[in-house]
Structure 1
Amino acid sequence: MPLDASRNSLVLPLLGLLVEQPSHAYDLAARLRERYGQLSATRSTVTTLLKTLEGAGLVASRVPERVGNRPPRTAYELTATGMADFRRRVEEGLREGQAASVDFVMAIAYVGALPEGDAVSILDSRADRLDRELATLREQPGGVAEVHMLEVAYWRTIIAAETSWLRTLASRIRSHDIDWSGTHPTN
């Protein structure tokens, strides 16, 4: 875990799950594993992050509740400050996340938390930035065998594919092919 727990890659999806509904650490860890198998989410890590987020005022704990014979569990809910931080993290991941990165994937998972126009604008800006990045990647430096530069061709393909996908997504949002109603959290 990073020294600054707020930089942990689990924070954005954790806050996103709390946008959907208040939950306890065990439930959140299970939902993170189920939805995002590529992320390592143990209950102890989730518990530690929840306590850190509570200390920062992003989440609030409820009075522990007992369900059946299970031990009492503390559920957490997002605060207004937490919702603002969540949206900031989504925007940051969309704007600044590296192509094909976990940061970008987690941000795109929660793009519906943003107003429709903001989402389209950010997606268009990202596609423009990636187009500029693609233009600076040389096909193959002179005098270097292709076998030693395969990563350049790979990266060009990844960036081109993400740019195309972003433009298609922005177009679908603009044309209302993707229903944006009810996706924008009210906090």
Structure 2
Amino acid sequence: MPLDASRNSLVLPILGFLGERPAHAYDLATRLQERYAHLTATRSTVTTLLKSLHRAGLVDAREPGKVGNRPPRTEYVLTGPGIACFRAKVESGLRDTPVASVDFALAVACLGSLPADRAVALLTARAERLTGEQAALPAGSAAMAELGTLEHGYWHGLVAAELEWIAALVRRIRSAELDWAA
């Protein structure tokens, strides 16, 4: 885990889930595992992150409550600064993350939390940045055998696929094909 827990990729979906409703660590860990099976989200990691987010003032902890014969669990709720942090993380994830990154995918999962025009602006800015990065990628060298430069083709393919996906998503948002609830 990064020394700065707020940089952990799980923080964005945790804040997003807390924006939907208050929850305890066990509930959050379960929801993370269900929705993001590709991420490692143990209950202890979620608990550690929640405590860090609480110390930072991004979430409030409610007194532990007991439901039935279950052990008491502290429930967390998003604060005003937590909402601002969530929005900033979504925007940064859409705009600034590397191509094909988990952080971009997590930001895309939260895209509907933004107004449609803001989402389009951020995705368009990302596409412009990636187009510049793609132009700067080495094309390979005629002096080297293709086998020695396969990674160049791989990166060109990743960037091209993401650019194509972003363009299609922007078209769907602009045409109102997506039911935008933000």
**TM-score, normalised relative to structure 2:** 0.97
The alignment's C-alpha RMSD in Å is: 0.9
Give the counterpart letter for 1:9 in structure 2.
S
Q: Secondary structure at the match of 2:95?
A: helix
Return the alpha-carbon distance in structure 2 between the equivalents of residues 143 and 163 of structure 1: 29
Deviation at 1:142, TM superposition (A): 3.0
Question: Which whole-Å CA distance do the structure 2 matches of 1:53 and 1:92 have between them?
Answer: 18
Moved more, 134-143 or 29-38: 134-143
Query: What is the aligned partner in structure 2 of residue 17 from structure 1?
Result: 17
Give the length in aligned residue pairs: 182
Provide the residue aligned with 1:102 in structure 2: 102
**Alpha-carbon offset, residue 14 of structure 1:** 0.8
AA partner of residue 92 (structure 1):
S
The match for 1:32 is: 32
- For residue 160 of structure 2, what is the aligned residue in structure 1? 160
Local SS of the residue matching 1:38 = coil
Instruction: Measure the CA separation in 2 of the matches of 1:125 and 1:171.
Output: 15
For 2:124 and 2:36, how far apart are their aligned partners in 1?
A: 26
> Secondary structure of 2:77's partner?
strand
Distance 2:173 2:70 in 1: 44
CA separation in 1, counterparts of 2:96 and 2:31?
26
Matches within 5 A, 1:1-80: 1-80=1-80
Deviation at 1:136, TM superposition (A): 1.8
Distance 2:159 2:71 in 1: 48
Gaps of 5+ in 1: none
Q: How far did 1:150 drift?
A: 0.7
Q: Which runs of 5+ in 2 are unaligned?
A: none
For the residues of structure 1 that align with 2:49 and 2:102, how far apart are their CA atoms? 18
Q: What's the offset of the Cα at 1:129?
A: 1.2
Tell me by how many angstroms 1:130 deviates: 1.0
Q: Distance in 1 between matches of 2:8 and 2:59?
A: 16
Counterpart of 1:132 in structure 2 is: 132
Cα separation, 1, equivalents of 2:167 and 2:112: 16
TM-score norm. by structure 1 comes to: 0.94
Give, as a single letter, the amino acid of the residue that structure 2 aligns with 1:157.
G
How far does residue 56 in structure 1 lie from its aligned partner after superposition? 0.7
